[in-house]
Structures are given as C-alpha cells and as structure tokens.
Amino acid sequence: MTPSEDVSAPTRQRCGIPVLKTERLTLRAPCDGDVATLAALANDRRIAENTLRIPQPFGVAEAEHFIDSVNRRDGETCFAVALDDALIGVCGIDPREDGPEVGYWLGVPYWGQGYATEAVRAVIDDAFGRLDHAMLQSGARVSNPASRRVLEKCGFQWTGVRLCRIRAINSAAPIDRFRLDRGLWASLKSWGQVKRVA
C-alpha cells in the first residue's frame, strides 16, 4: 500500500472537496446548514486569538461570508469537521505563496479528546495523497501548547519563530513555525505498518 492509498476514501464531491472519513469524524465541504453552529462555536476569543484570520465577534454574517469565500476561492481546501453530522470545527489548507499552510480550530466543548489530531492527520493524508503536495507548513502561537502538540503528533518539525498578524487582536504575535515534508510523512506512515516480530 502506498501512503496516498491510506487516505480515508473520498466518497462525495462538493465544490471539488472530497469527503474524508476517520474513525470518529467526517470532513466535508462547509455548507449553508453549518452557519448557525459555525457562528456559535467560532464566536470565542480563545479560538480567534489563536488563529490568524478569524474576526471577533464572529456572528451569522461572518459565518455566511466564511462559507461562501472558502467554497469559491481557487486552491482553498477547507473542511468542516463533523461529529455525528454536526460541525465541531474547521480544518484545511490555505494555498500561500511560500507553501501550503495547514490551519484548524475546534469549538471549545470538543477540546481535549484527540479530535484535532484526528482531523489534521486526515487533511495531511489528503494533501500528500490526492493533492500531491511536496511539503506542508503550519504555525502555532508560542502561547498555545495544545496546537503545538497537535502538530508534533502529526509529524511536523519546528523551524523557528516568526511574527504574524492576528486579526482578532489587531496586532502581531510570535508564532512557532513548523514544516512537514512528504518524505517524512511517507516514512511515518510506513513505520506504522511495520510489525515487530520479537
């Protein structure tokens, strides 16, 4: 089995976005039916202040604009993360000039149960499999150990610290930067399939 075959099978297309299934989660294109839940979950400073682009406050108008824009933007790969059909967060890849950037957030009631790691791993598999990216990058505020840990559990390696603008605080903050190369991802995936015999 090649690493790319290990991606949870895409089963349905909407706006070019496949449906990815993991053990507990479904990742699919955000849709109009997500607006109310998206607005309720994202309207939280703990989320906005740890992501680059989420405005605060975040209401129904912002949720509608977000869904419309991510489904229209060329090259954007944005998944609604759903548990039992209900949206619990967002995870995706932003096509930046300096390389594709993985971003994610979950509603606070869903923190601490491994859901972010599960969702990010599915997006990584899709990025290296279906999308054929050579590398991925991501970042976490230096004050955000949970996000750093998610990236480490997904195989990302720290590359340094950079100042980035965070919309919700209208200011820049230091961000730990991470990178995951295709070769390392393939190695980690194949290592998991090796059985020790003694």
Ligand X SMILES: CC(C)(COP(=O)(O)OP(=O)(O)OC[C@H]1O[C@@H](n2cnc3c(N)ncnc32)[C@H](O)[C@@H]1OP(=O)(O)O)[C@@H](O)C(=O)NCCC(=O)NCCS
Q: Is 127 helix (H, G, I), strand (E, B) or coil?
A: helix
Q: For residues 135 and 180, is the Cβ–Cβ distance under 8 A?
A: yes
User: Distance between CA 122 and CA 110 in Å, rounded?
Assistant: 17
Site stretch for ligand X (CB under 6 A), options 30-38, 43-51, 66-74, 158-166: 43-51
Give the residue, chosen from 29, 38, 140, 154, that forms a contact with ligand X under the rule CB under 6 A.
140
64, two tokens = 């509608």
Site stretch for ligand X (CB under 6 A), options 8-16, 46-54, 68-76, 178-186: 46-54
Q: How far is the CB of 159 from ligand X (least distance, A)?
A: 15
31, two tokens = 């849709």
User: Distance between CA 64 and CA 124 in Å, rounded?
Assistant: 26
Closest to ligand X by CB, 104 or 185: 104
Q: Is 70 helix (H, G, I), strand (E, B) or coil?
A: helix
Rule CB under 6 A: is residue 175 a binding residue for ligand X? Answer: no
Rule CB under 6 A: is residue 25 a binding residue for ligand X? Answer: no
Torsion sign over Cα 25, 112, 79, 9: negative
Site stretch for ligand X (CB under 6 A), options 3-11, 61-69, 145-153, 155-163: 145-153
Closest to ligand X by CB, 5 or 163: 163
Rule CB under 6 A: is residue 149 a binding residue for ligand X? Answer: yes
Closest to ligand X by CB, 145 or 183: 145
Closest to ligand X by CB, 29 or 150: 150
Site stretch for ligand X (CB under 6 A), options 19-27, 28-36, 45-53, 68-76: 45-53
Based on C-alpha coordinates, what's the Rg of the chain?
16
Strands 171-181 and 157-166: antiparallel
Closest to ligand X by CB, 178 or 185: 178
User: Is-cis flag, bond preceding 18, omega within 30?
Assistant: no
Residue carrying structure tokens 């279906």: 130
Rule CB under 6 A: is residue 117 a binding residue for ligand X? Answer: yes
Residues that bind ligand X (CB under 6 A): 46-47, 50-51, 103-106, 111-117, 140, 144-147, 149-150
